[in-house]
Amino acid sequence: MELRHVRYFLAIAEEGSFTRAAERLGIAQPPLSQQIKVLEQEAGVRLFRRLSHGVELTPAGRAFRAAVGNVPHEIAEGVRLARKAAAGESGEIRIGFTGTAALSPAVPVCIAQFRNTYPDVEINVTEANSMALAAALIEDRLDVAILRPSNSDPNLLAEEVLTDEPLLAALPATHPLAVSGEIIDLAKLCDDPFILTPRSVGVSLHDAILRACAKSGFTPKSGPAAPHIASILSLVAAGLGVSLVPASIARVDLRGTVFRHLGDTAERVAIALAYRRATTSPVVRNFCSVARKARMDRRFELQAQKE
């Protein structure tokens, strides 16, 4: 049974006339009558009774109409939904972000603009460190992530820089340099223990801190290791050492911790958009497009510079 047969049947049932139905459908009456005969043969019943002034449905025809009346609409709706899914305008996306990027414009701007552009896509978010996010992408447990570059296999993951920001010094409020001004010389922290994120948790941030210290002529003394930015700041506030953190972290108001700039030559750390190179998801394609446009948006750049 073909969909056109159902459409023809419904048009005749609504018009009560083969002639008027043929005019409505834009076909000649004889072919229409022939197609209805084919439909009746397939159904094994008569669907219409001819009258002197038109036709009426038989009991079988009324039952058939009740069953198929919504079929054209349902098919049209199915086609519409299928096209939305194919265009990435519906479905689901699993987004991961790292805690050190959460306070940057990258995460809220990208997600908000995607939500505004594609309101019918369900968004699920996960927070983890950059290396865990990269692993989740490779294992297809996430679709995209906003993270610090993970140095993952470029054949598996694409990582596109969205923005970057300078490192700041995080100091205990009791530290002598905490009251020495807004800008400090990093070399003056050479005797302090540094609280660092393990390289296995955040390779790009860890390496950026080591580079910054090396440029200032020293290797940082090892203090307690902390896997999360919150624990780093807590240990700094407790006076167990100092650290270098992305500038956006200065938005955190943690009693006992102060942030100081390192000057115009401060080492910078990137925030990247990551996704599987092998992905074919139109939803992921759309998210990446939105993120790239956000990166080009002047408001995004200005917010990033304020960090």
CATH of the domain at 157: 3.40.190.10
Give the tens place of pLDDT for each residue, 42-72.
Answer: 999 999 999 988 999 999 999 999 999 999 9
Residues 171 and 229 in one domain: yes
pTM of the model: 0.81
pLDDT beyond 60 at 216: yes
Q: Please count the other Cβ atoms lying within 10 Å of the Cβ belonging to residue 27.
A: 15
**79 inside domain:** no
Distance CA 244, CA 204 (A): 13
Average pLDDT over residues 108-126: 95
Distance CA 262, CA 212 (A): 10
Confidence of residue 305 (pLDDT cuts 50, 70, 90): very low
**235 inside domain:** yes
Residues 50 and 16 in one domain: yes
The amino acid occupying position 144 is: V
Among residues 106, 83, 104, the alpha carbon closest in space to that of 95 is found at: 106
Q: Please count the other Cβ atoms lying within 10 Å of the Cβ belonging to residue 45.
A: 14
Q: What is the mean pLDDT of the chain?
A: 92
Give the tens place of pLDDT for each residue, 230-261.
Answer: 899 999 999 999 999 999 998 888 889 999 99
Specify the CATH number for the domain of residue 32.
1.10.10.10
Confidence of residue 304 (pLDDT cuts 50, 70, 90): very low
Distance CA 112, CA 119 (A): 10
Residue 129: partners with Cβ closer than 8 Å, 6 or more residues away: 98, 99, 197, 201, 202, 227, 228
Residues 182 and 235 in one domain: yes
Residues 156 and 219 in one domain: no
**105 inside domain:** yes
Lowest mean pLDDT among 28-32, 106-110, 129-133, 207-211: 106-110
Residues 178 and 233 in one domain: yes
Domain boundaries, position 280:
93-161+271-297
Residue 194: partners with Cβ closer than 8 Å, 6 or more residues away: 209, 213, 220, 221, 222, 223, 241, 242, 243, 244
**257 inside domain:** yes
Residues 134 and 175 in one domain: no
Residues 288 and 156 in one domain: yes
**According to the model, what pLDDT value does residue 290 have?**
95
Residues 236 and 210 in one domain: yes
Distance CA 144, CA 237 (A): 34
Average pLDDT over residues 219-226: 93
Residues 124 and 255 in one domain: no
Confidence of residue 4 (pLDDT cuts 50, 70, 90): very high
Residues 61 and 98 in one domain: no
Distance CA 98, CA 125 (A): 11
Distance CA 150, CA 159 (A): 8
What is the number of domains present in the chain? 3
Residues 125 and 179 in one domain: no
Helices (H), the chain: 3-15, 18-25, 29-43, 59-68, 71-86, 106-117, 130-138, 203-215, 229-237, 282-296, 298-306
Terminal-residue alpha carbon distance, the chain:
65
Residues 218 and 186 in one domain: yes
